[in-house]
Amino acid sequence: MSGTTPPPGSDPGEEKNPFAQPGDDQGASQTPPWAPAGQPPSSQPPPNQPPAWTGSNEGISGGWGDPSTAARPEPPAQILTAAKLMYVGAVLSGLLLLFTFLSRDAIRDAVEDSDSSLSADEIDAAVNLTIGVGIVVGLIGVGLWLWMAAANKAGKSWARVVATILGGLNILFTLFSLSGGGGLNLIVNVVQIALAAYILYLLYRPESSQYYAAVSGSRR
């Protein structure tokens, strides 16, 4: 009606609190909708709401604070050079494997000279057996070179021990076989001896020993 003052809250420009309890004053308008009636206002979210992310990665697997993602030590130049030379050794073993195929006639002559009483079939069987053994040994040699290159580059301490044993055996057997061949075969055997000796020298350098120790310590 004209001339009368509207009651509080009836002014269209005045906003009402839809969650205010009856009889509450202005402080009640701050009560969140999930707070029970008669309880003081709280800034905590309702139970069915997920907690806010604080930006911390602690306790999360693979996070910044996860020790499993710590940087591994980089291999020194001596280890990298030894690994490359082991790849060269794998190539040389492959060449010896190729020489086995190309030496079929020489193997046949050696079998005939060792026993002239053998028949043609027996000679063929002996030649095939010799070539088969050479192929298996050559493939094993290639695999061992590649395996040792990868394991030592990764800093595995046991790999250096295995490489030492294999390198010593390689030098020993190559020395025994030097009198049994010539030409390219002899050259490859001499190169393998020098290669194995220099690789072992690199694996036992102080920098290499520190690398193996550092990698072993990072796994603990």
State the pLDDT confidence band at 41, using cuts at 50, 70 and 90.
low
Whole-number Å distance between alpha carbons of 45 and 14: 28
Span 119-175, pLDDT tens digits: 888 988 999 998 998 889 889 989 999 999 999 999 999 999 999 999 888 888 877
Calculate the alpha carbon distances from 114 to 62, 181, 183, 186, 217 in Å. Answer: 66, 16, 22, 22, 57
Q: Please tell me the predicted confidence (pLDDT) of residue 68.
A: 45
Length of the chain, in residues = 220
State the pLDDT confidence band at 54, using cuts at 50, 70 and 90.
very low
pLDDT above 50: residue 196: yes
- Between the two ends of the chain, the Cα-to-Cα distance in Å is 87
Asked if residues 199 and 85 have their Cβ atoms less than 8 Å apart, the reply is yes
Say how many C-beta atoms besides its own lie within 10 A of residue 96's C-beta. Answer: 19
User: Percentage of residues in the chain with pLDDT exceeding 90?
Assistant: 32
Q: Please tell me the predicted confidence (pLDDT) of residue 46.
A: 54
Q: Please tell me the predicted confidence (pLDDT) of residue 144.
A: 94
Q: Please tell me the predicted confidence (pLDDT) of residue 140.
A: 92
What is the distance, to the nearest Å, from the Cα of residue 72 to the centroid of all Cα atoms in its chain? 11
Q: Sort residue 55 into left (φ over 0), alpha (ψ -120 to 50) or beta.
A: left
- Domain ranges across the chain: 77-218
| Highest-scoring range by mean pLDDT, 96-100, 106-110, 149-153, 182-186 | 149-153
DSSP state of 202: H
Calculate the alpha carbon distances from 177 to 85, 132, 168, 184, 219 in Å. Answer: 22, 18, 14, 13, 42
